[in-house]
Each structure stands twice: as structure tokens, then as C-alpha cells.
């Protein structure tokens, strides 16, 4: 039985707990739930159906830092879901580093640590012979890392291009189909809760750049950082430019790309018929490779679908631990 | 070291051999190549760079049936690539059954055996504790089985829909964009080598039905056969019908689907903006599931890209055998 702590109990943590309540995973026991104020811990497993929100309202809630739980005495698996901070990576990096050093497996959807400390964290995981998985960091539920590792064995990835930010894709979609200006489409997206109140990271292309970096460093084994990415956001895209594209069977999308070792994020013309050209909040990732030539994956890039990535990573941990026990 | 026999040395067998020549797979040795006339076998591994075509022209070519090689004394892995026969499944079924019984792992792209004998072959593989993989049978290089098994763990597949036949998709694409009649588009496809001279299996929807059946029985664990599939081909699709669809932002595609346990293949209206709506010879597969909700995969559904599926299956065999040795 794997004893897991969910650290970070926001939208995603709650969605994961709900799924595990409705459909328990054999061999997995949630022993801890933690937020920034403290934690709940029960050695035999928490009764998820009885958890009240907020966590602080539950009997047995311990004020303090959940890092106290990051030892093998308490848990076997850390599910790190604290908010992404792309400047410092904290508190995620500290959580993950501590856990890995304690020989605790880690599954995360937090982009910060993977963006800023992938090499170090991978090295520690290797040294300690533990598992570090981060499928949920890019493309929500689209299983891009898993796919490349487990379904394209023997092939060589040449390039990756993607629409990796649902917010900007929603905005560009509304501009394309309704002729809205950027400002109007953004306001609508904020109203609908698709864009955050401070949408800078999305509309300036930073969020896409972060994901492209994670793909580049993880899948293509590059060693790049944000300053290596040419980044142009969507704030200057005009309805006129989109309309002109439309007249030629094309549109404008914010495309992140890794081609010939060069990383870029910018609004690009794309044929409406191209598999990568998806609309609304959808994400799409196109891989070019030597043998398969081309493969495109399309799915929801955020929200609850990300639980699928967490689950898949968790199953990998369970399988790996099982095989170590079995053989 | 895994000793492999490539049985069936047509387009795909040659493409695989070529890839293995240019980029050898560690731990894999091709010891045999066979066609319907006989075989070449060398215990230490064939020198692929010296193989002449046809196989019969090589020194050491043994006339006779390659089934003589299907024992553990000669090989560890059968790569079965003989032509698909959807009526009898032969000679594929006999080859695969014999190999599995002899405790030889099997990788195939031959649809016949998987269509007609999946249950039996899986049972034998289980009993003998050997591996039976068939990624190349559906969607060419699109790694659909691998993806569902290894990247969507913990999720439940609800439905599958797909454009699974490149020939009919090419025809419908030409009808959509150029206004061609079915007959004219078919003639063009035959001229270009995209359609076979006898295109019945493709245009009548049989090929798509076979693939839908393999997906249904393999991924959804159903137990269906061809008579359970409602099949309508594309021969009656008119330019007028497509034109009317076009006027409404839609087109007509040959969609195979598994929904609520019902299997069907028929021309259906689809929005041009839908991720599944791909053109030319592209294939697309859309999965609906409980957690991820929706995922679409797009790629070339035939030709050399299928080598990617064979390679991935071969790597799975090697990994599995390694882990058995290692632990």
C-alpha cells in the first residue's frame, strides 16, 4: 500500500481527492491533505468522504508546515499541487527536493519546480532511486511525456509545436469567428472565468514559453531557460490581421515551438485545415519524428482533465513499486 | 539478446528491416527473414546490409515454410507481417498461434488474426506467459493501444470514434475541396496508388469496420464480430451532399464509432472545426473518457509510419524480457 500526501488543496487537489473518493485506486491510501495553513494526517488513511472545506475546519487539523510530513515514516508518495511560481519555483521546489531526498516518490502538476530545477530534481531522484513525474505540468490531461516515453520508443523526436494556452486560444478563437478586438475578447474571457484577472502571463506568451521550456528540457534533453525563448504575446494581434488570414483559409494562433534547437512563442499563421489548428480552450501538440513522421494530440489543456495526468503518474508509481516488490 | 524473425517481407517488412539496418536496436538481432517461398536464417544474425531482393536471390535461401523456424531453438520473437486476410486470418493465425504455443513473443501488424482470433491468441499468450502485441493493426503509427494501456491508467474509456481509412478520407477530401464525384476521386486515388485497384474493402467501409472491431474487442473488452457492425460505405456520397454540408461549416467523413456498446461505420456530418475532422490520407481517433474527457490523436494511418508501431512493440518486448532477467 502506497501512503500519499496531497500537498496543495486548491482546485486540482480537491478534484483529485474527489475522484479518489468516487473511484479508489487499489494500493493507494491518502494519509494526508495539506494547504498553506497546515495539514490533516491519519496513518491508516483519511476518510475522504468526511473531509470538510476548508481543511482548517476538520478535527485533527494541525497548524504548521506540511514539510514535517515529508519523511518515509509518514508517507511514500508526495502529490505536490501548490500554486506555480515561475520566478522562485517555491514552495514547490523545497517540497519536492525534500521529499526526493527522503526517498519519497513525487508526482506534481506544479510547473515552477520543473521549469527551474528539473536537472537537480531529476539527479536527486536518480541518486535516491525514486520516481519524479510531472505529466500534469504541460497540456493538462494530454499525456505528452508518457506518450513520448512509452509509446514512441525507438523513434527520434525532431520538433514539437503546440497551442499550449487555453486562455489565449479562446481569445484568438473569438477574434476569428466573431471579429472581436483583442480587448473585447479578453474582457469576455475574464468574465467567463477563462482568463485570470491578471492575464499577463497568458496573453504575453509567458505561460506557453514555460511549457515549451519544460517540453524542450524534458523531451528533447535541452538545457534552456526562459531567456532562450523568443516570446511574442497576442496583445498586438488585430481583427484585421485575423480577417486577412481568414480570407486565405488561415487564422492566427499562438504557437510555441521547438525546432532545430530554437525555442519560440509567437502568433503565427496556420491553415484552418491543419491538425494543430484547434479552437476554443483546446490545446494541441504536434510532434515530428523520424519514423512516425507526425502525430498530433488534442485535448483540454487545463481544468479537471489534469486529474487524468496525475492518476496516470500515480499508477506508474504503484506499478514500479509493485514490480520492485514482486520480482 | 532477442533473436527475431520477420515473417512476411513485403512493403512493411522491408521498411522495418531498413530502419533496423540504419538504426540497430540494442538487444535485438534479426536472425531470419521469410516470405511465402521460403526463408533466410542465420543463428548469429543476418547482415541486413547484404540482403538482396527478392529474398530468393540470396545465398542460403531455404525453400519451404518458415514455420519450421517457429521454435525457441531458433527465435525468441516473431514479427508477423504477412498480408491481412479478413476471411480466414491465415496464414497469420497459424503463424502466431504456433509461435505463442512455443513460448515465442509475437509482434504483428496483420489485422486478420487480431480480428478473428484475438481471444484465443490472448489466452495462449497468457497461459504461456509470453507477449502478444499488435499496435500496427489500427491507425498505422498512431500508438492507440499503447496510449490507452500506458498513458490513460486510472481512466475509463467511454467511447471511441475515428477516421481510420486513409483511402476513403482522401476521396472525401477531394470531393469536399474540388467538388469531384466519388467515381472521379476514386479513379484519381487509384492512379496515385492511394487506393488499391480493387478498392471494395476500403470504399465499402469494411476496412474501417475491421479496425473498429479490433478497438472494441481490445480496448473496450467487447466480444463483437463483423456482423455486429452497422456498415455503410462512401460509394453513395454525392458532391451535392458534401456541398450542402460545406454551406453549413461541415463536411461528410467516414466515421467508425463505438458508442454505448454499438459499433457502426458510416458517412457522417462533421463540423469542419472538429478535431476529428482531418483531411487527405490522415487518420484521426477520438477517445471520450471519464477523467480526461476527450483526447484526439491524428497521424498517418498507413505506410511507413506503421514501422513506429512495430518498433514500440519490439521495445516493449525487450523491456519486459530485460526486467524478467534483471529482477
Please report the DSSP string for A5-49 in residue order.
EEE--SHHHHHHHHHHHHSPPTTEEEEEEEETTEEEE-TT---GG
d(CA B100, CA B95): 9
Catalytic residue among A29, A111, A211, A253: A211
How many beta carbons lie within 10 A of that of residue B27, not counting itself? 14
Q: Do B150 and A155 touch (CB under 8 A)?
A: no
Q: Is 0.90 topped by the overall pTM? A: yes
Average pLDDT over residues A56-62: 96
Enter the C-alpha cell of residue B7: 515473417
- The SS3 call for residue B286 is strand
Which chain B residue has its CA at the smallest distance from A274's CA? B278
Which residue of B151, B178, B280 to mutate against A (max A Cβ within 10 Å)?
B151
- The SS3 call for residue A98 is helix
Average pLDDT, chain A: 96
- What is the reported pLDDT for B31? 98
- Burial of B193-214, coded b for 16+ CB within 10 Å and e otherwise, reads ebbeeebebbbbbbbbbbbbbb
Which chain A residue has its CA at the smallest distance from B299's CA? A295
Q: Do B153 and A292 touch (CB under 8 A)?
A: no
Enter the C-alpha cell of residue A168: 489565449
Point out the least confidently predicted range of A69-73, B29-33, B264-268, B318-322.
B318-322
Q: Where in chain B is the domain with CATH 3.40.50.720?
A: 2-141+305-326
- What is the reported pLDDT for A325? 52
Q: Establish if B146 touches chain A: CB-CB under 8 angstroms.
A: yes
DSSP state of A229: E
Helices (H), chain A: 11-22, 92-101, 111-128, 144-151, 166-178, 182-191, 200-203, 206-219, 239-247, 306-326
| Contact present, A88 and A112 (Cβ < 8 Å) | yes
Helix (H) or strand (E) holding A300: strand A293-300
Tell me the shortest Cα–Cα distance from A116 to chain B, in angstroms.
25
A contacts of B289 (beta carbons < 8 Å):
308
DSSP state of A129: T
Name residue, grid cell 513473443.
B105
d(CA A223, CA A117): 11
- What is the reported pLDDT for B208? 98
- What is the reported pLDDT for B322? 82
Provide CATH code, domain A146-300: 3.30.360.10
Q: Establish if B131 touches chain A: CB-CB under 8 angstroms.
A: no
- The helix-helix angle for A206-219 and A144-151 (nearest 10°) equals 20
d(CA A319, CA A95): 23
Q: Establish if B24 touches chain A: CB-CB under 8 angstroms.
A: no
Task: Provide, rounded to the nearest whole percent, the portion of chain B with pLDDT above 70.
Answer: 99
A contacts of B316 (beta carbons < 8 Å):
153
| Contact present, B157 and B292 (Cβ < 8 Å) | no
- What is the reported pLDDT for B324? 62
Which residue of A153, A177, A313 to mutate against B (max B Cβ within 10 Å)?
A153
Q: Where in chain B is the domain with CATH 3.30.360.10?
A: 146-300
Tell me the shortest Cα–Cα distance from A32 to chain B, in angstroms.
21
d(CA B271, CA B252): 9
Tell me the shortest Cα–Cα distance from A12 to chain B, in angstroms.
12
B contacts of A307 (beta carbons < 8 Å):
291
Residue B323 has pLDDT above 80, yes or no: no
Residue A215 has pLDDT above 90, yes or no: yes
d(CA B301, CA A207): 33
Handedness of CA B142, B144, B147, B150 (dihedral sign): negative
Q: Do B153 and A316 touch (CB under 8 A)?
A: yes
Enter the C-alpha cell of residue B274: 472538429
- What is the reported pLDDT for B34? 98
The 10s digit of each residue's pLDDT in B40-51 is 999 999 999 999
Catalytic residue among B29, B111, B211, B253: B211
d(CA A172, CA A284): 14
Which chain A residue has its CA at the smallest distance from B320's CA? A323
Phi, psi of B204 (to 5 degrees): -85, 0
Q: Do B305 and A292 touch (CB under 8 A)?
A: yes
The 10s digit of each residue's pLDDT in A174-212 is 999 999 999 999 999 999 999 999 999 999 999 999 999
Q: Establish if A271 touches chain B: CB-CB under 8 angstroms.
A: no
Rounded to two decimals, the ipTM of the complex is 0.96
Q: Is the peptide bond before B284 cis (omega within 30 degrees of 0)?
A: no
Average pLDDT over residues A225-240: 98
CATH 3.40.50.720 fits A2-141+305-326, yes or no: yes
- The SS3 call for residue A100 is helix
Cβ contacts from A onto B, under 8 A: 134
- What is the reported pLDDT for A326? 43
**Is A14 in the active site?**
no
Q: Establish if B87 touches chain A: CB-CB under 8 angstroms.
A: no
- What is the reported pLDDT for B327? 37
Residue B326 has pLDDT above 80, yes or no: no
Average pLDDT, chain B: 96
Q: Do B292 and A305 touch (CB under 8 A)?
A: yes
Q: Do B155 and A311 touch (CB under 8 A)?
A: yes
- What is the reported pLDDT for A324? 62
- The helix-helix angle for A92-101 and A111-128 (nearest 10°) equals 10
d(CA B218, CA B221): 5
Q: Establish if A292 touches chain B: CB-CB under 8 angstroms.
A: yes
Which residue of A280, A288, A292 to mutate against B (max B Cβ within 10 Å)?
A292
Residues pairing with B78 in the sheet: B5, B106
Amino acid at each position: 500500500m502506497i501512503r500519499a500526501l496531497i500537498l496543495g488543496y486548491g482546485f486540482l487537489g480537491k478534484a483529485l481527492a474527489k475522484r479518489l473518493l468516487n473511484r479508489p485506486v487499489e494500493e493507494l491510501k491518502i494519509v494526508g491533505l495539506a494547504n498553506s495553513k497546515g495539514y490533516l494526517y491519519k496513518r491508516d488513511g483519511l476518510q475522504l468522504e468526511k473531509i470538510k472545506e476548508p481543511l482548517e475546519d476538520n478535527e485533527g487539523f494541525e497548524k504548521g508546515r506540511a514539510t514535517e510530513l515529508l519523511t518515509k515514516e509518514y508517507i511514500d508518495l508526495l502529490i505536490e499541487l501548490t500554486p506555480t511560481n515561475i520566478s522562485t519555483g517555491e514552495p514547490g521546489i523545497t517540497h519536492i527536493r525534500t521529499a526526493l531526498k527522503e526517498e519519497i516518490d513525487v508526482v506534481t502538476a506544479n510547473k515552477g519546480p520543473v521549469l527551474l530545477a528539473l536537472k537537480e530534481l531529476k539527479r536527486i531522484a536518480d541518486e535516491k532511486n525514486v520516481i519524479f513525474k510531472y505529466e500534469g505540468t504541460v497540456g493538462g490531461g494530454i499525456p505528452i511525456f508518457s506518450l513520448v516515453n512509452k509509446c514512441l520508443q525507438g523513434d527520434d523526436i525532431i520538433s514539437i509545436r503546440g497551442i499550449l494556452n487555453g486562455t489565449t486560444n479562446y481569445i484568438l478563437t473569438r477574434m476569428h469567428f466573431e471579429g472581436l478586438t483583442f480587448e473585447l475578447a479578453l474582457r469576455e474571457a475574464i468574465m467567463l472565468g477563462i482568463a485570470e484577472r491578471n492575464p499577463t502571463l497568458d496573453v504575453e506568451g509567458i505561460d506557453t514559453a514555460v511549457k515549451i521550456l519544460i517540453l524542450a528540457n524534458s523531451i528533447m534533453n535541452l538545457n534552456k531557460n526562459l531567456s532562450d525563448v523568443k516570446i511574442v504575446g497576442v496583445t498586438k494581434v488585430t481583427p484585421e490581421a485575423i480577417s486577412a488570414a481568414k480570407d486565405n483559409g488561415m487564422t492566427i494562433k499562438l504557437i510555441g515551438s521547438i525546432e532545430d534547437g530554437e525555442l519560440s512563442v509567437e502568433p503565427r499563421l496556420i491553415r484552418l485545415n491543419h491538425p494543430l489548428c484547434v479552437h476554443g480552450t483546446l490545446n494541441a501538440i504536434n510532434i515530428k519524428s523520424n519514423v512516425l513522421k507526425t502525430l498530433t494530440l488534442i485535448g483540454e489543456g487545463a481544468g479537471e482533465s489534469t486529474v487524468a495526468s496525475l492518476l496516470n503518474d500515480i499508477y506508474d508509481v504503484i506499478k514500479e513499486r509493485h514490480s520492485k516488490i514482486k520480482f
